[in-house]
Amino acid sequence: MKDIKYKIENGCWICISHYADKDGYFNVARNYKGKVYRKMHRYIYQTINNDLNHKDLILHKCNNSSCINPAHLEKGSHKENMKDRLAAGHYYNEYHPNTHINEDIAAIIKKKLNDGNTVIKVADSLNVSQYIVADIKRGRTWVRVKPKQEDSARLNVKRGEKE
Ligand SMILES: [Zn+2]
């Protein structure tokens, strides 16, 4: 049986030994206690927590469907899954009504946070809400955006009303 290998990206474990399907999930056929697990994250969850029914959904707290980090996996309902995906950035983009920033600003915020700036300082320097910066810091929004130096980004943010 093929070993599962992964690389770590922003705290997420991304499998590099198996191919992902079109939804970003890694597939693995593994036996655990007489049951076969096809999705790798389900297999990982079950082997770590020893508690999974076939009806249970395993959610990615990080919203990265390719992630197999056990700390990022939790059990939930389909309803919660859809709610989480909408709320936490899977479909987050600059048209989302609750965000006044675009991808460039998100990238700059990440860079500034990486450089060790506080949430308050970053929020002030870009004139955005501290909640937006805090969510990015926690990895809840703009998960796939890569950090970018401020002067290399287009500062074309369209600012909405203050929250
Ligand atoms: Zn993750």
Q: Which residues of the chain fall short of a pLDDT of 50? A: 89-99, 152-163
User: Which pLDDT value is given to residue 114?
Assistant: 93
Q: How far is the CA of 42 from the centre of ligand 1 (A)?
A: 13
User: Which pLDDT value is given to residue 154?
Assistant: 43
User: Which pLDDT value is given to residue 94?
Assistant: 36
Q: What is the largest CA-CA distance in the chain?
A: 56
User: Which pLDDT value is given to residue 90?
Assistant: 44
Q: How far is the CA of 55 from the centre of ligand 1 (A)?
A: 22
Q: How far is the CA of 58 from the centre of ligand 1 (A)?
A: 12
Distance CA 24, CA 154 (A): 30
User: Which pLDDT value is given to residue 92?
Assistant: 39
Reported pTM: 0.46
% of residues, the chain, pLDDT over 70: 74
Domains of the chain plus CATH, in order, are: 6-87 (3.90.75.20), 103-152 (no CATH)
CA 148 → CA 64, 133, 160, distances in Å?
Answer: 20, 15, 23
Q: How far is the CA of 11 from the centre of ligand 1 (A)?
A: 6
> How far separated are the first and last CA of the chain, in Å rounded?
53
DSSP state letter for 35: E
Q: How far is the CA of 20 from the centre of ligand 1 (A)?
A: 15
User: Which pLDDT value is given to residue 113?
Assistant: 94
Q: 25: exposed, middle or buried (C-beta count within 10 Å: 0-12, 13-18, 19+)?
A: buried
Nearest Cα neighbor of 40 from 22, 56, 53, 21 is 21
User: Which pLDDT value is given to residue 84?
Assistant: 58
Q: How far is the CA of 33 from the centre of ligand 1 (A)?
A: 25
User: Which pLDDT value is given to residue 117?
Assistant: 92
